[in-house]
Amino acid sequence: MGANLDINEKLQNYINDFGLNLHPVQQEIIDYNKNLGEIKRMQIDPTQCHFLRLIIKISNIKNVLEIGTFTGLSALSISLALPDDGKLIALDKNEETNKIASSYFKKAKQDHKIQTIIKPALETLKKLENKKFDMVFIDADKMNYKEYYEKSLGLINQSGLIIIDNVLWHGDVVDEKNNDKFTVNIREFNRFVSEDKRVEQIIIPLGYGMTICRVL
């Protein structure tokens, strides 16, 4: 029976060395985030940058919604993969990190593709009800994941993709002794999505876990 390989740091570095090359500004963001202490965990992993790039290109995705931007690594990864007339709307409520992200978008010459909105995401999602997207990437506050997911289903084109980050929650989802509210919420969310007949989905162990949903 096949099994997934345990990835240690040495093997992860090997994977990164033989993967796609990061854009210089992507690397700048990663280097900047290294000095942010615990909150640096909000950044996606470089392998996720490559995954987003490939899935956008393979699926001919043009219009993307991102819920949760932080300092801009995932948004920049998405934008770099989009065609020149592609569009990304990036939602985040943190004005300080948004300024940092926007400076990197401009430096990478991607600011013409990216529209940032600095408001609570649920508030903005109500105003986007007339728009349609090919892909939604969710990486925001975990307690609202189900609401973000439901709102995204109403905004996505048929056969579009909804990608949700952090669904393995540092591996804590399988720790039966860990019942803090965030871990419990992620477990419940994962079960909900797995039983949702509106999508076909798979969890892949990149970063802290990503769920890829194709809307039926």
Q: Write the CATH number for 32.
A: 3.40.50.150
Residue 1 lies in a domain: no
Number of separate domains in the chain? 1
For residue 111, the tally of other CB atoms under 10 A from its CB is: 15
**Is there a domain that residue 206 lies in?**
yes
Asked if residue 56 is part of any domain, the answer here is yes
- On whether residue 209 sits in a domain, the answer given is yes
Please list the pLDDT of the chain residue by residue as tens digits (216 residues): 566 788 888 988 888 888 878 999 999 999 999 999 888 788 999 999 999 999 999 999 999 999 999 999 999 999 999 999 999 999 999 999 999 999 999 999 999 999 999 999 999 999 998 999 999 999 999 999 999 999 999 999 999 999 999 999 989 999 989 999 999 999 999 999 999 999 999 999 999 999 999 999
Angle at the Cα of 35 from the Cα atoms of 18 and 139, rounded to 5 degrees:
70
Where b means 16+ CB within 10 Å and e means fewer, 60-79 reads: ebbbbbbbbbbbbbbbbbbb
Q: In whole angstroms, what is the distance from residue 73 CA to residue 105 CA?
A: 9
Domain that holds residue 197: 9-215
For residues 93 and 123, give the distance between their C-alpha atoms in angstroms, rounded to a whole number: 10
Question: How far is the CA of 209 from the CAs of 24, 25, 45, 70, 168, in angstroms?
Answer: 25, 24, 10, 18, 5
Cβ proximity of 156 and 132 under 8 Å: yes
Is residue 151 one of the residues assigned to a domain? yes
Examine residue 2 and state whether it is found in any structural domain, yes or no: no
In a domain, 3, yes or no: no
Say if 133 falls within a structural domain: yes
Phi, psi of 92 (to 5 degrees): -160, 150
Q: What is the pTM of this model?
A: 0.94
